[in-house]
Amino acid sequence: MGLIAFVSGRWLGGLRRRTHVAAVSAISMGAMALGALALVVTLALLEGFQSTIRQQLADSGFHAELRPRSGPTLPGGTWLDDIRRRHPELAVRARRSGAVWCVAGGAALPAELEVQDTLSRVEVNRVLAARLQAGVGSELTVVSPRLQLTPLGPAGIRRHAVIGAVTRIQPGEERAIVTAPPGLGEALIEGRAPSSVELRDADSSRAFSVASRVQDELPDGVDVVSFAELNRPLLAALSLERVMIGLGVALVLVVAGLNLLCNLALLAAEKRSDVAVLVALGLTPQRVFALLLTLGTAIGALGATIGAALGGLIAVVLDRSQALPLPAGVFIVSHVPFRVTAGMLVAVWGIAFVIALLASVVPAWAAARRGCLEGLRYE
Amino acid sequence: MHKGYGVGSRRVEVLRSVDLAVFSGEMVAVVGPSGVGKSTLLHLVGLLDRPDSGELSLFGEDTAPLTFDARSRWRARRIGFVFQFHALLAEFTLEENVAMPLLIVGIDRAEALARAAVLLEVMGLADRRGHLPDELSGGEQQRGAVARALISAPDLLLADEPTGNLDSANAESLFVLLREAHARHEMASVIVTHNEELAARCDRVLRLGAGGLEEQCSKA
């Protein structure tokens, strides 16, 4: 490989002595650079927006949920208190829930009642509020399937309340939910064991790791659902968006690779007599192949390095300078965010390198197969 | 040996029925008009091409079964080439060009350059070793090409019109160089040349014609 690197490096450096070939090689290098730059900036833009969305998601909801593996409620014991004690950074909210009917404004709808220890008022989510056409201050009657004996016979237990708040819903949430404090809720649903427990880290940037932190401390019969699993549809959509857009922009690199293929074919023709001399001196066809492959890959790799570095720099500058403002009230951020990671730069460089390598194969193979006599005769 | 190029009505029989032997230590000149296959003969002997028919043995070994790689190895280690147009690589210094055969066989670069420097000293080109080929005169370029051919101490030296592009003075000094190197390395040399005067100073002259080998003359 030493000879190959020596010769290809010298040929690459010697290109400047041949203006037209140097110009074509510079164009190939520039095309690879442009492709890498475009891909880095695009991925940084996507990552900027998507990380903002993920952060918003983490800020607005809980980060993990403990559910019974079977049955409607979680097992008893001190494990929940142990989790509270061992993880003071986590807010632990036990939910007890059951099916009820909600009546308001003449409409009656089935809903899920959740009892929260920390609540002091009755809240409904937007789904229920919309279906009941009720809002803050509306009167609400919650009817439980538990029966109580009345002078008129058995009837469902009822509690009346005023809606204190209408809560936001999780993306994709379609359940009608009424949330009540213990004083009101426990009378309406059977049993007191929690049906699930919500965990939330005070530092929302650690949302993805909450489940793994408590995994080993759970008793048998309790499963933990991670933040990623709770938001699987949205996160999968974000991932798919990143992949598809990335693939689309990566086509620029493919076009650059085709340009490199043509350029290398031109270089191979230019170097035909030199290759013929090297073959006459004893260079094997495999090493001729390696020589041209190294030359083409080096051109592509140089371009990819320049492009990835420039792309990263542009993205960082655009983000820090907040150069691209967004209309207030329309987007969740005030400017177009860019987020560059080392892994992103390495991945883009790697893709560009592989494309350059593949583009170099055919001209290198053709040069290796070509007999040297033509090159010597030309001499 | 027999060699032609092309197919059908476009086929040209370049080399016909050449039957010869070259012995170690012998300097053989090959003369003849253009197009009779002098360079083709050199390419066949140098394992750059294969004959259409006939046998080629080098150093007692039949070359027909040799693979591409094996032929490359033979060229690298046992055969030296001198081309008409020096064929030095433009991006490399004279010293690097001379060292190239050693680099191809895997010798360390520092050692290869050191051996090239010694040889260039012998050739009287020591002060030019760091120059690129286009910074050298025609005679210097061709002497550099001879040095490259001799660096690996080949058993067989093949020279295709080595003095073809030189004036008479340079041609004479180059031929003297070849003669001295031939004697010093005790190798076999085959030199294709149009220069009858130089050819006559070789041990044997082979005259090729359209019908093949026409005449072999040995120096008395």
| Amino acid letter, B138 | G
For residues B170 and A367, what is the distance between their CA atoms, to the nearest angstrom?
35
CA B21 – CA B18 distance, rounded (Å): 10
Gap from B205 CA to chain A (nearest CA, Å): 24
| Residues A209 and A239 placed together within one structural domain of the fold | no
Q: CA-to-CA distance for A344 and A339, rounded, in angstroms?
A: 10
Shortest Cα–Cα distance, B219 to chain A (Å): 31
Tell me the shortest Cα–Cα distance from A260 to chain B, in angstroms.
Answer: 22
* Contacts with A286 from chain B: Cβ below 8 Å: 69
The shortest C-alpha distance from B103 to chain A (Å) reads 6
CA distances from A378 to A266, A269, A270, A330, A372 (A): 16, 12, 12, 68, 10
Residue A65 lies in a domain: no
Residue A349's SS3 state is helix
Q: The tokens of A365 are what?
A: 């193979």
At A76 the pLDDT is 83
Beta bridge pairs of residue A122: A163
Question: Which residue(s) pair with A91 in the sheet?
Answer: A200
Q: How close, in Å, is residue B64 to chain A by CA atoms?
A: 17
Cα-to-chain-centroid distance, residue A352: 22
User: Is A327 in the same domain as A282?
Assistant: yes
Interface test with A, best of B72, B105, B146, B192 (most A CBs within 10 A): B72
Whether residue A342 is contained in a domain is answered as yes
Q: Structure tokens of B191?
A: 């030199």
Position A361 in a domain: yes
Q: Which chain A residues are closer than 8 Å to B77 by Cβ? A: 282
Helices marked H in A61-111: 79-86
Please report which residue ranges of B49-202 form alpha helices under DSSP H: 68-78, 94-104, 109-122, 138-150, 168-185, 196-200
For A14, nearest residue in chain B (alpha carbons): B91
Residues B169-177 have a mean pLDDT of 84
Domain boundary among A176, A193, A220: A220
CA distance B158 to A96: 96
* Boundary residue ending a domain (A192, A220, A248): A220
Q: Please write the tens of the pLDDT for every residue from B59-115.
A: 888 888 888 888 888 888 899 998 878 789 988 999 999 999 999 999 999 999 999
Contact A204, A62 (CB under 8 A): no
Q: Are residues A9 and A98 in the same domain?
A: no
Nearest neighbour of A373 by CB, restricted to B48, B72, B103: B48
**CB-based contact (8 Å) between B46 and chain A?**
yes
CB contact under 8 A, A282 and B69: no
In eight-state DSSP terms, residue A74 is -
Helix/strand/coil for A347? helix
Task: Indicate yes or no: CB of A11 within 8 angstroms of CB of B91.
Answer: yes
The backbone torsions φ and ψ at residue A55, rounded to the nearest 5 degrees and listed phi first, read -65, -40
Q: Which of B68, B91, B95 to mutate to test the interface with A (most CBs of A within 10 A)?
A: B91
Let me know if domain B3-218 sits in CATH 3.40.50.300. Answer: yes
Q: Which of A3, A273, A373 sits opposite B104 (nearest CB)?
A: A3
Radius of gyration of chain B (CA): 17
- Looking at the structure, do residues A32 and A80 belong to the same domain, yes or no? no
- Per CB-CB distance under 8 Å, the chain B contacts of A379 are 83-85, 87
The answer to whether position A210 is within a domain reads: yes
Residues A185, A189, A191, A197, Cα dihedral to 10°: -60
Task: Give the pLDDT mean for B137-162.
Answer: 90
User: What does the CA dihedral B155, B161, B167, B171 come to, rounded to 10 degrees?
Assistant: 20
Gap between the Cα atoms of A62 and B100, Å rounded? 69
Q: Which residue in chain B has the smallest CA separation from A368?
A: B68
Tokens 């857009």 map to which residue? A245
Contact (CB, 8 A) for B209 and B31: no
- Chain B residues within 8 A of A285 when measuring between CB atoms: 68-69, 72
**What's the count of helices (H) and strands (E) in chain B, helices before strands?**
7, 10
How far away is chain B from the Cα of A35, in angstroms, using its nearest Cα?
Answer: 30
Best mutation target, B96, B100, B108, B148, to test chain A (most A CBs within 10 A)? B100
Would A225 be classed as within a structural domain? no
Q: B85 to chain A, minimum CA–CA distance in Å?
A: 6
Q: Last residue of some domain: A191, A220, A249?
A: A220
Q: Does residue A344 share a domain with residue A280?
A: yes
A172 with A256, same domain? no
Nearest CB among B49, B85, B148 relative to A373 is that of B49
Per CB distance under 8 Å, which residues of A are interface residues toward B?
2-3, 6, 10-11, 13-14, 17, 273-274, 277-286, 371-373, 376-377, 379
Shared domain for A213 and A259, answered yes or no, is: no
What mean pLDDT comes out for the span B132-144?
A: 90
How many Cβ atoms from other residues are within 10 Å of residue A329's Cβ?
Answer: 6
* A374 vs B42: CA distance, rounded Å: 14
Which residue ranges in chain A fall short of pLDDT 70? 1, 15-19, 190-192, 371-372, 374-375, 377-379
The H-or-E segment that residue A36 falls in is: helix A19-60
B73-132 residues touching A, CB cutoff 8 A: 73-77, 81, 83-85, 87, 89-92, 100-101, 103-106, 109
Domain count, chain A: 2
Residue A309 per-residue DSSP state: H
Who contacts A220 (Cβ-Cβ below 8 Å, separation ≥6)?
A69, A75
Q: Which residues of A fall within a CB distance of 8 Å from B42?
A: none
Query: Which pair of tokens denotes residue A12?
Result: 């690459």
Closest to B131 measured CA to CA, from B92, B88, B86, B79: B92
Q: A53 with A74, same domain? A: no
For residue A15, the model assigns a pLDDT of: 63
Q: With respect to residue A189, please indicate whether it lies within any of the assigned structural domains.
A: yes
Residues in B closer than 8 angstroms to A274, CB to CB, are 89-90
Q: Which of A281, A286, A291, A379 to mutate to test the interface with B (most CBs of B within 10 A)?
A: A281
Positive or negative: CA dihedral B37, B42, B47, B48: negative
Mark whether A211 and A85 lie in a shared domain: yes
Which among A281, A372, A373 is the nearest to B100, CB-wise?
A281
| A14/A148 same-domain check | no
Distance from CA of B70 to the nearest CA of A (A): 9
Q: Do B75 and A281 touch (CB under 8 A)?
A: yes
Question: In chain B, positions 50-79, which contact chain A (CB-CB < 8 Å)?
Answer: 68-69, 72-77
Q: Which residues of A touch B73 (CB under 8 A)?
A: 282, 284
Domain span at A348: 2-57+234-378
Same domain, A177 and A238: no
